[in-house]
Amino acid sequence: MKLDERHLIQLAAVVQTGSVTEGAEMLGMTQPAVSRTLSSLEKRLGEPLFQKGQRPLLPTPLAQALADQGMVMLSASRKASETVRNFQEGKAGTVRVGGTPFFMDALISSMTAEFQNSYPEIRVDQSYGYVRDLREAIHADRIDLAICPIDILGEGSGLVFDEILPGRNVVACSALHPLLGNRRTGAQELLEYPWIAPPPGSPLYADLHSILLSLGATEIKVRYSGGSLASVINYMTRTNALTVLPHSVVFAYRKERTMTALPFQIPHPDRALGILRPADAPYLPAVDKYAQHVAKSFENLRHLIKRHEDAVVWGG
């Protein structure tokens, strides 16, 4: 015998409340509609659903067994409704975000943690890549958005880019580096020390070579390359090696007092950090809330980063 799942749900509501009227209110239905359902179900079963003369209503053993099944369905229905509501309100869902490794590790991961403290039901899947890889991942629908530095976004790319922080590189070193004792550091002094090269293919890798060539280097003393941000910092704090990092990354580690920036001006990269998204992306509330959170976090940090830059790097 096949029973209508809706009938079982209505039976469960009446059994739970002990009243047809209250059961109907619980489901947002009218009392006559639920009464008709129970009457129809009794006729189909050929058995009474409730013991006569009992108030509140007392189910028969068969009705109780059917109500138990109905409660499972009612619970699943409520959970499904809550899932839809949370998704529509941006309180649940999945955000697939990609980004350049140093920025993601130094800044975005902590912002993600703060976001999920407010929205614990939203899952964030983070991946790494550089601009070319991230663009491909967006077009292939492997990620919803990317957080990365970009110089020029060509017309017809099918993407939109919202700047969140202007580009600014610094020469980073150990907090105990000998050059920090100098009143003023010259280009020749920088070239006397070994350098750490960022991963090949990264914007920082190109920046490093351009900067060293602009300083007059004929030979670049690269002693270590290709490491993660954690490995670069660990290496740098145990040597006198120098490297080029975005100032915001150095800022993110300011409280750990492991590294700092040398008071030496280097050219600003012609790019900015921002959020890259498909121009025709469907509206995904959780993704939109995440992007807003990241943008707001950088807005709150912007003046602190600038103040730190003015304090650490001479000449502003």
CB 219 within 8 A of CB 195: no
Average pLDDT over the chain reads 89
CATH code, residues 93-166+271-311: 3.40.190.10
List CB contacts of 138: < 8 A, sequence separation 6 or more: 98, 144, 145, 146, 159, 276, 277, 278
In CATH terms, the fold of domain 169-261 is D-Maltodextrin-Binding Protein; domain 2 (3.40.190)
Q: Is the pLDDT of residue 142 over 70?
A: yes
List CB contacts of 54: < 8 A, sequence separation 6 or more: none
Half-sphere exposure of residue 204: CA atoms within 13 angstroms, side-chain side: 29
User: Tokens 């890259």 belong to which residue?
Assistant: 276
Residues 5-42 have pLDDT tens digits of: 899 999 999 999 999 999 999 999 999 999 999 999 99
Residues 249-283 have pLDDT tens digits of: 999 998 888 899 998 888 777 889 999 999 988 88
Residues 152-180 have pLDDT tens digits of: 777 788 999 999 998 889 999 999 999 99
48 pLDDT band, cuts 50/70/90, is very high
What pTM did the predictor assign?
0.73
Where are the domains positioned within the chain?
5-88, 93-166+271-311, 169-261
Do domains 93-166+271-311 and 169-261 share one topology? The answer is: yes
Out of 3.40.50.150, 3.40.47.10, 1.10.10.10, 2.120.10.70, the CATH code matching 5-88 is 1.10.10.10
In eight-state DSSP terms, residue 242 is B
